[in-house]
Chain A
């Protein structure tokens, strides 16, 4: 089974808005914290699930990312976790792509890889929170798509049984392969890279595929970012006072009662 996992390098989601800034164009968020970028959490769940499927079925796991040269770090981490190969999709003209544009480039990358049985993507990225690249990708590759997945219950050579998370229930579905799944965090706990994996990662060559390698030029987007604004919380709660915890608990009940909330 050949599984491709799409991974994205993102700003560490623990960085609070007070440590973020927007650039002069108001179109890009920059971190003022100096904290290193990380692999998108849901993508790490996708990679973990791919590695588990490989343990059962054998085969190969390929990690791909669309990003600038620094995104190589995230691919190194993917290899250190256990991915067999990786490719960096990088070209200056791809810097401001929307979801459709990103999917167009990823689709070209996946076609270049060749026969793929399963594509796993994180359900969304923790920076853009877009949640639609995987669906455009499925359309471009003509794959059945289900997201967000919280369990792969059975996996065979030609189909998977998966649990799709809905608002108040789960759908248990049988999806024919090849397919594309959006992976959610409930599915697993991603492994940490092993020391041996880290050594392998330093020795693994990661190719760069650009617009001419993939024969993809400028893509006209469907959505354009006009402006970004940081939402900094400056408020401070009104503190309910009292001699001890119990007194504060009673004072809170009184307050909420006065407000008509109880």
Chain B
């Protein structure tokens, strides 16, 4: 088996940014392994547009188009992946790490008996073979994991690699996959889209304003909302806020929430638990506003403001609005 395969993901009709980051990881690995990179996309409808965005230095690009793939099911993804793997025989499979891949990639690994490491920040080639670097212990420890079996399966964390650039190199082939069907023992009843989101995905947000326990109460939360509106940012929060029922889980930043990679992350009243810091490890610039000068967040932040956010944020918001004019 030879070659590196990337199976991409789509949001609507476009490939996700994280998919292109995963291609960049594959291209880097391709230089070290001296093996070509191929790609595959699964989806309903015509995938030609998405394929054009995804076609970055590939030797082959396979499309699995089926109306059955309109609705996600792990078993369908596994069936499609098995067909692509059977055709291309890759030695390594890289996937963007997402809610879907963390669900179906382990089921694929279990079917193939392949080694798998989820949510990695790097893949390197050493004398023992392929090693995936994975944050553990809530991000406090990084582990190098040697992955056995072919294909070795690795999911890549968002925001670590820069996006690969499309070059329209490979010719596109369509692959018919028979027997695409969900697990008969799991029936899909409904997809519940979150009410109360502004539609801005935390994962792709350029700016995030996040509040934690230190914001003190729901009566102060409007300051977080106003700061988000003034900066054009998305609203995030720590786990404490979700546990107290102020915001729904889809706003939670952290290891068990969303791992984010914004240009600017402003943490308000967040102490900086390890699990939260793991969620912002790829944020470019981190600002902390906290009245406790010893808060752990100040060790991660690039800029810190020590003080009461109820005094800091209103002046900050007014000043930011001034720039916008």
14 contacts between A and B (CB under 8 A): A132-B106, A135-B106, A136-B109, A171-B191, A185-B239, A222-B113, A223-B148, A228-B141, A234-B299, A237-B302, A245-B308, A250-B318, A253-B316, A255-B303
Mark interface residues in A184-205 (1 if CB within 8 Å of B CB, else 0). Answer: 1110000000000000000000
Contact A20 B141 (CB under 8 A): yes
Q: Is B304 a contact of A175 with CB atoms below 8 Å?
A: no
Instruction: Give the contact stretch, choosing among B49-57, B130-138, B164-172, B213-221.
Output: B130-138
Q: Do A239 and B263 have beta carbons less than 8 Å apart?
A: no
A69 interface residue (CB < 8 Å to B): no
B148 touches A17 (CB 8 A): no
B188–A246 contact, CB under 8 A? Answer: no
Beta-carbon contact of A170 and B191 below 8 Å: yes
Residue among A171, A223, A234 with most chain B CB within 10 A: A223
> Contact at B315–A17, with CB atoms within 8 Å?
no
- Verify B146–A224 contact, CB threshold 8 A: yes
Q: How extensive is the interface on chain A, given as a class?
A: 35 or more
B191–A230 CB distance below 8 A: no
B187 CB to closest chain A CB, in angstroms?
Answer: 4
A22: B residues at CB distance < 8 A: 141
Which residues of A lie under 8 Å from residue B310 when comparing CB positions?
A: 245
| Whole-angstrom CA separation of A154 from B203 in the bound complex | 31
In whole angstroms, what is the CA distance A134 to B106 when docked?
9
Q: Assuming A231-B141, A240-B304, is B117 touching A256 (CB within 8 A)?
A: no
Q: Tell whether A157 is near chain B: CB-to-CB under 8 Å.
A: no
Given A132-B116, A139-B111, A166-B99; A261-B285 close (CB under 8 Å): yes
User: Interface size bucket, B side?
Assistant: 35 or more
* A152 CB, min distance to chain B CBs, angstroms: 13
When the two chains form their complex, are residues B299 and A235 in contact, meaning their CB atoms are under 8 A apart? yes
Q: Is the C-beta of B67 less than 8 angstroms from some C-beta in chain A?
A: no
If A129-B119, A250-B319 are given as contacts, then 16 extra A-B residue pairs at C-beta distance below 8 Å, sorted by A number, are: A16-B296, A131-B106, A131-B118, A144-B185, A166-B100, A168-B250, A169-B193, A169-B194, A170-B194, A172-B188, A227-B143, A231-B135, A245-B312, A249-B305, A256-B287, A262-B323
Complex contacts, B193 vs chain A, CB 8 Å: 168-169
A contact residues around B323 at 8 Å (CB): 253, 257, 262
Contact of A184 among B131, B256, B285 (CB under 8 A): B256
- Rounded to whole Å, the gap between the CB of A19 and the closest CB of chain B is 9
* Given A17-B140, A132-B116, A257-B323, CB of A249 within 8 Å of CB of B313: yes
Is B86 engaged at the interface, CB distance under 8 Å to the other chain?
A: no
Residues of A near B296 (CB, < 8 A) are 16, 233
B258 pairs with A17, CB closer than 8 A: no
Kindly list chain A residues whose C-beta atoms are within 8 Å of the C-beta of B286.
237
B247 to A: closest C-beta gap in Å:
12
Give chain B nearest CB distance to A101 CB in angstroms: 12
| Interface residue ranges of B254-275 to A (CB < 8 Å) | 255-256, 258, 263-264, 273-275
Interface residues of A in 161-181 (CB under 8 A from B): 161, 163-176, 179
- Complex CA–CA separation, A238 to B301 (angstroms): 8
Min CB distance A17 to B, Å, is 4
Q: Which of A126, A132, A174, A262 contacts B187 (CB 8 A)?
A: A174
- Residue pair B307, A245 in contact (C-beta under 8 Å): yes
- The answer to whether B138 touches A223 (Cβ under 8 A) is no
Contact of A230 among B141, B145, B255, B277 (CB under 8 A): B141
Q: Which residues of B contact A17 (CB under 8 A)?
A: 137, 140-141, 274
B119 touches A131 (CB 8 A): yes
A252 at the binding interface (Cβ < 8 Å):
yes
Residues of B within 8 A of A234 (CB): 299
**Minimal beta-carbon separation of A137 from chain B (angstroms):** 9
Measured in the bound complex, the distance between the Cα atoms of B146 and A102 in whole Å is 17
**A115 interface residue, CB < 8 Å from B?**
no
Q: Which B residues are in CB contact (< 8 Å) with A138?
A: 107, 110
| Interface membership of A150, Cβ < 8 A | yes
Chain A residues closer than 8 Å to B113, beta-carbon distance: 222
Does any Cβ of B come within 8 Å of A37's Cβ? no
Distance in angstroms between the alpha carbons of A176 and B135 in the assembled complex: 35
B282 smallest CB distance to A (angstroms):
13
Is B141 within 8 A of A226, CB to CB?
A: no
B202 to chain A, nearest CB (A): 9
CB contact under 8 A between A239 and B142, given known A127-B136, A172-B190: no
Q: Pick the contact of A147: B103, B288, B299, B304 (CB < 8 A).
A: B103
The distance in angstroms between the C-alpha atoms of A179 and B185, with both chains bound, is 9
Contact A174 B201 (CB under 8 A): no
Q: A174-B187, A237-B301, A239-B305 are in contact. Are A129 and B136 (CB under 8 A)?
A: yes
The answer, among B255, B285, B315, for a CB contact under 8 Å with A129, is B255
Which residues of A lie under 8 Å from residue B103 when comparing CB positions? Answer: 147, 164
